[in-house]
Amino acid sequence: MKIDDNHKTNIVLTGGHGATTAIAVVEEILSQKKNWKIYWIGVKNAIEGKKMSTLESVALPRLGVNFCAISTGRLQRRFTLWTIPSLLKIPLGFIQSFWYLVKLKPSVVVSFGGFASVPVIYSAKILRIPVILHEQTAVAGRASILAAKLASVIAISRENSLKYFPKAKCELTGNPLMQEITQIKPKVRLNKLPVIFITGGSRGSQSINSAVEPILRRLLSKYIVIHQSGGFDYLKFSTIKQQLPVALKKNYQIISRINPLEMAEIYKQSDVIVARAGANTVSEIIYIKRPAIFVPIPISYLDEQTQNAMFAANWGISFIIKQNKLTPNKLIERIDDICKNFNSIISEISRKVSPDADAATKFVNLISKFIK
């Protein structure tokens, strides 16, 4: 029998990032057949002044999540044409968030961090709605630290995050992973022609792309390369592909942006991954046990990407190249070295269990405690 939406319990998810974590949580809610109606309150544009949709605005509605757009501004690392207009939108974000929460009357608000979560969390506190924070990183996000005092409970992915939050409120859950990621089997041997997946995240990394461009032909002579370039460099690398000899062109797949729901298929093909060290990327790579090279963003808050990368390196799955040390030759040498020693790397980690193995279930069970 179909359940009437009017009898479902409303819950609100929010964040300025953490789309893949949110997807994992929504998938777990659906698999547990919870009688919840799920809303996401967040922004539609990923970059101020650019018509680039956020991953959550694209992916979550496909899972039946109701997307509620707000126009809140964000703090920028450097002054641009959009800095002042962005700051002026911050009060609007609070008004819109408050209005949505009054209308929806959710039992709980769940935040995955990021600037867009702040007005939602503060509005929830005014309306006396319980707030659950989830921290994906190995340290702590700026928004989560700001909102910690307002939270009922803070779910952390790594024990190292404890020092940034009130310990009495913290619960170690791990970082929820999408179901298709958890179904990927570790590789026991390299593909005949190894597959290198290079990604700077959904927006791309010009630093990584700049290191890849001079060595692309050398890479394609011995590897298959799947390259998520991001929107800014997509046209350039598409043009480069068209100019390649046929023998090399067939080994090169250039993609602007990969939908999180399609990432598992890329991971399955991959033997080695070159990536930034965002928390979700690191968690996924640890789980699927693919050797990786991380190039952490050096200006991330509390140097969180370096801390994420170090966690994976200590676990035995990855190597780190600092951005200021990244060169084309160093990158290809490290890729060659990993492929040469692939079997020994995999052997070292074969029996290790990911710290995020049951994270989605733990986190949804935590949410359940707050449902009336």
* Equal fold, 5-176+357-368 vs 181-349: yes
pLDDT in tens, 139-156: 998 889 999 999 999 999
pLDDT in tens, 157-195: 999 999 999 999 999 999 999 999 999 999 989 999 999
Q: How far is CA 186 from CA 4, 271, 311, in A?
A: 42, 10, 19
Fold of the domain built from segment(s) 181-349: Rossmann fold (3.40.50)
CA distance 127 to 199: 41
pLDDT in tens, 87-130: 566 788 899 999 999 999 999 999 999 888 999 999 999 999 99
pLDDT of 74: 57
Confidence band of 3 (pLDDT split at 50, 70, 90): very low
CA distance 198 to 33: 36
- The CB-based long-range contact list for 156-163 (8 Å cut-off, 24+ gap) reads 157/279, 157/283, 157/355, 157/356, 157/359, 158/311, 158/355, 160/307, 160/311, 161/135, 161/137
| Out of 26-35, 73-82, 264-273, least confident range | 73-82
Task: Pull the structure tokens for residue 163.
Answer: 């020092």
pLDDT in tens, 260-288: 889 999 999 999 999 999 999 999 999 99
Average pLDDT along the chain: 91
Quick one: residue 204, left, alpha or beta (phi over 0 = left, psi -120 to 50 = alpha)?
left
Q: Where are the domains of the chain?
A: 5-176+357-368, 181-349
Q: How far is CA 341 from CA 216, 295, 347, in A?
A: 22, 20, 10
Q: Are 144 and 43 in contact (CB under 8 A)?
A: no
pLDDT in tens, 201-245: 877 889 999 999 999 999 999 999 999 999 889 999 999 999 999
CATH fourth-level superfamily of 5-176+357-368? Glycogen Phosphorylase B; (3.40.50.2000)
Collapsing DSSP states into helix, strand and coil, what is residue 197? strand
pLDDT of 115: 86
- Chain centroid to Cα 154, Å, comes to 18
pLDDT in tens, 45-77: 755 545 667 888 888 999 999 999 998 755 555
CA distance 194 to 220: 10
Prediction pTM value: 0.90
* pLDDT over 70 at 297, yes or no: yes
CA distance 372 to 353: 35
Give the E-state strand segments of the chain in sequence order: 9-14, 36-42, 66-69, 108-111, 131-135, 153-156, 170-172, 195-199, 224-228, 252-255, 272-275, 292-294, 318-320
CA distance 324 to 360: 36
